[in-house]
Amino acid sequence: MSGKAGMTWKLGVCFLITTLQILESCSAVVDDSNDDNVLHIGGIFPIGGKGGWQGGQACEPAASLALEDVNNRTDLLTGFTLKLHWNDSECEPGLGASVMYNLLYNKPQKLMLLAGCSTVCTTVAEAAKMWNLVVLCYGASSPALSDRNRFPTLFRTHPSATVHNPTRIKLMEKFGWSRVAILQQAEEVFISTVEDLEARCKETGIEIVTRQSFLSDPTDAVRNLRRQDARIIVGLFYVVAARRVLCEMYKQNLYGKSHVWFFIGWYEDNWFEVNLEKEEVGCTKDQMRIAAEGHLTTEALMWNQNNQRTISGKTSEDFRLRLNEVLRQAGYDIDNMRYPEGYQEAPLAYDAVWAVALAFNKTMERLHKHGKSLKNFTYTDKETADGIYSAINSTQFLGVSGYVAFSSQGDRIALTQIEQIINGTYVKLGYYDTQSDNLTWLGKEKWSGGKVPQDRTIVRQVLRTVSLPLFICMWTISCIGIMAAIALIVFNIWYRHRRVIQSSHPVCNTIMLLGVCTCLWSVFLLGLDGQFVSPHVYPVVCQARAWLLCIGFTLAYGAMFSKVWRVHRLTTKAKSEVKKVEPWKLYLMVTGFLLVDIVILLTWQLYDPLQRRIEVFPLEDPVSTEDDIKIRPELEHCESENNNVWLGVMYGYKGLVLVFGLFLAYETRSIKVKQINDSRYVGMSIYNVVVLCLITAPVTMVIASQQDASFAFVALAVIFCCFLSMALIFVPKVIEVIRHPRDKIESKYNPDVGMTKEDEERYQKLVAENEELQKLISAKEEKIRLIRIRLQEREALRGGGVTDGRLLSGTTPQQDSTANTE
């Protein structure tokens, strides 16, 4: 029960109890001497209110027709007539309590109460037990009224609102909807219905994405539905609020092929076209029709679908014609389908009166056996009240609303009817029997867009992969490079005896070519992604990429680095050292680089292996489809938990080697040595490798989310480095071998060589002679030094001219003696 209804009910009950005590003290007695053969019942009809359900507009005339038919039956209530005393409650619980008070404590005595509108029935039924009165509700669907502890004397010909929920669940299962939203008016009847619906959804695994409620203005609630991307929406509200909701639906574009609304089925057929100006609904009739198109309704079957004669002797169609005539006389434009509110529930009010008459008839027969009569009933006569309760609880008959029977909770047992509004008119789609779980489907549904709407925006996960033409192009170029490298390996081995090959260290060249093949093969792995390999294989591809690229780089660059390092060492040796290149030192350097790579890669793989990580991008619209679909792009990455740390270690190590290689290449840029005849070309290759690596590494980190650009950039960098290195180092050698097949002059395409074989022999002789002369010069210089020392000593002893003369002649005393002897 809502707070407003609860407070009003408490005030009404207190007021009634106080009045009862006053009246009892005054010993007010109802004088029924003038109508001994009349049985009086009270009626509470909501007619003139501005909100809620004003179904009394059609239900009160229906009840009057039922009274007329009951009283015309001679075999029913023999000797008595049934009379209805009623007043308007406006579907307000406070006013309804006041109407009940007036009915109970004004002449004549009432035997039973008829009531409509869930909030009024709640108030009346909860208080009626204090007067031992049975209450029969013809228009109350609140699930709360099924509580026998709270409402022990209540029955209703209107099925509980919860009878709609199994039907709604059945439809959701039929159309594959597993995600729904709920919009409700803050009234007890709808709150309890929603609670039951939530419980049923939970049992069947249907997700309730949001539950919005409102008092009178649904604007914010409908906007929230749009924010939550609600597609299948169950709406629970009175018809006045329903018109406001429908208008807001139109404004928020929550209708059409992407949305389905469930409305309550007891609105009138033209409810979305009437009272728009009176209620100040801010939409036109055309806009309301557009928004209403396609919505579904569920309602308890309130009109007998078979052309059978009912307990009144008339068919449901006969009743419809009579009711239309009465309403037409009351001023309603029935011919143009302008029905009053409560028209759908009119059969329930008609059958409610018949249920009362049948129950009274059974009770009278039972009382007559004990010498009693219903006319002796007082509000303290619990025995008679129990008899009436028992009679109505067992009442079963075929009425204009269908088969009338009551459950142990006093609820009407009925089928549920499903309708859809198609082209502005409600069309029956089927029926659902809750008891047997049987759905009778007619297959007349029609959806905007030609297919069943989805319960959500379907998000398709699309894996971004490398463009197939780009992958094929890069792989083709890599294959060409691999074949070229293999051909150069064969060339290098086949012509290893040639001086042009021997002087360039053919083993280092072969190592470099093996590294080139490995790097080019890694291009293939760089393009392998989800379009070629499964997710559980992808981590293996990640590991293979890292190993091939690192090992290939180390073999290719390490071989060139060892050469340029050796050239630098040769140019910095002392002149007295023998300038001979020892190949094992070059191989040892490459092996050292390789061991460092293996240690880092093994540690990385064992402790923090590369795994498949998914990068998720914002939703995108599909290119060419009208379906309610969004694309969520995903991109595979090879990453580990501490990926940045490992990349930092690897890039730091490789970066130092690159920078040092660049330094060595710069230092030896103009140096020629005969021991390594291609040192200048090796230096040029190192320049290109270093520059491309320093550019590629940071750029690929920036464009990592663009799969095609990233793959193309890395692949082209690898391919360019490999092709350029092979071209610089081997093209001159190939040309030289082709031009001079017999190992003749090779200086034209090998500027580092600089001389022929004869010139080299002559050079070696000159070097030997030069070394001998240098030795003689060194000996003479030593003698001159000793002579000078001796002359200085003699000069110090004699100080004479002889010495000066000898000194001037450049002879020693021993030489002088020898000369004289000769």
CATH code for the domain of 520: 1.20.1070.10
**In this structure, is residue 580 part of a structural domain?**
yes
Going by the DSSP 8-state scheme, the letter that residue 158 receives in this structure is S
| Nearest to 139, CA basis, from 6, 314, 302 | 302
d(CA 219, CA 212): 11
Residue 341: CB partners within 8 Å, gap ≥ 6? 53, 54, 55, 57, 58, 239, 268
- Asked whether the beta carbons of 465 and 707 are under 8 A apart, the reply is yes
pLDDT of 86 > 60? The answer is yes
* pLDDT of res. 765: 80
* pLDDT of res. 724: 87
pTM over 0.75: no
- Asked whether the beta carbons of 411 and 160 are under 8 A apart, the reply is yes
Residue 573 pLDDT grade (very low, low, confident, very high; cuts 50, 70, 90): low
Residues 545 and 651 in one domain: yes
Residues 493 and 379 in one domain: no
d(CA 743, CA 760): 15
pLDDT, tens only, 194-249: 998 999 999 999 999 999 999 989 999 999 999 998 999 999 999 999 999 999 99
Q: At which residue do the structure tokens 């103009």 appear? A: 670
- CATH label of the domain that carries residue 114: 3.40.50.2300
Residue 136 one-letter amino acid: L
| Nearest to 564, CA basis, from 692, 476, 671, 469 | 671
Residues 616 and 691 in one domain: yes
Report the mean per-residue pLDDT for the chain: 83
Query: Among 715, 739, 763, where does a domain finish?
Result: 739
Residue 5 pLDDT grade (very low, low, confident, very high; cuts 50, 70, 90): very low
pLDDT of 801 > 70? The answer is no
Residues 620 and 508 in one domain: yes
pLDDT of 576 > 60? The answer is no
pLDDT, tens only, 154-172: 999 988 878 889 999 999 9
Cα dist from 190 to 68, 237, 289, 344, 494, whole Å:
35, 7, 25, 19, 93
Residue 344: CB partners within 8 Å, gap ≥ 6? 265, 266, 267, 268, 299, 302, 303
Residues 403 and 481 in one domain: no
**In this structure, is residue 216 part of a structural domain?**
no
**In this structure, is residue 795 part of a structural domain?**
no
| Nearest to 490, CA basis, from 509, 516, 518, 476 | 509
Q: What's the full length of the chain, in residues? A: 822
Query: Among 739, 754, 776, where does a domain finish?
Result: 739
The radius of gyration computed from the CA coordinates of the chain, to the nearest angstrom, equals: 53
Strands 112-116 and 38-45: parallel
**Cβ count near 584 (within 10 Å):** 9
**In this structure, is residue 658 part of a structural domain?**
yes
Residues 611 and 728 in one domain: yes
**In this structure, is residue 217 part of a structural domain?**
no
Query: Which range among 159-163, 339-343, 379-383 shows the weakest confidence by mean pLDDT?
Result: 159-163
- Asked whether the beta carbons of 44 and 55 are under 8 A apart, the reply is no
Q: Which helix (H) or strand (E) holds 427?
A: strand 425-433
Residue 106, classed as helix, strand or coil, is coil
- Asked whether the beta carbons of 401 and 417 are under 8 A apart, the reply is no
pLDDT of 746 > 50? The answer is no
pLDDT of 473 > 90? The answer is yes
Query: Among 722, 739, 756, where does a domain finish?
Result: 739
More confident residue, 675 or 294: 294
| Nearest to 135, CA basis, from 303, 401, 385, 394 | 385
* pLDDT of res. 581: 52
d(CA 207, CA 214): 21
Query: Which range among 22-36, 126-140, 267-281 shows the weakest confidence by mean pLDDT?
Result: 22-36
**In this structure, is residue 426 part of a structural domain?**
no
d(CA 434, CA 468): 56
Mean pLDDT along residues 133-158: 90
Tokens (6 digits) for 329: 């006389």
Per the structure, the count of domains in the chain is 2
Query: Which range among 298-307, 374-383, 394-403 shows the weakest confidence by mean pLDDT?
Result: 298-307
| Nearest to 393, CA basis, from 383, 404, 406 | 406
Tokens (6 digits) for 127: 């208080």
Residues 676 and 558 in one domain: yes
User: By residue range, what is the domain housing residue 80?
Assistant: 38-159+324-411
Residues 639 and 704 in one domain: yes
**In this structure, is residue 190 part of a structural domain?**
no
pLDDT of 734 > 90? The answer is no
What are the start-end ranges of the E strands in 365-411? 397-399, 402-404
Residues 603 and 731 in one domain: yes
Alpha helices in 641-706 (DSSP H): 643-667, 679-702
**In this structure, is residue 109 part of a structural domain?**
yes
Residues 618 and 686 in one domain: yes
Long-range contacts of range 816-821, CB-CB < 8 Å, 24 or more positions apart?
A: none
Residues 407 and 469 in one domain: no
Alpha carbon 626 to its chain's center: 19
Residue 568: CB partners within 8 Å, gap ≥ 6? 664, 667, 668
- Asked whether the beta carbons of 107 and 390 are under 8 A apart, the reply is no
Query: Which range among 279-293, 447-461, 661-675 shows the weakest confidence by mean pLDDT?
Result: 661-675
Residues 546 and 695 in one domain: yes
pLDDT of 116 > 50? The answer is yes
Is the alpha carbon torsion for 100, 102, 103, 106 positive or negative? Answer: positive
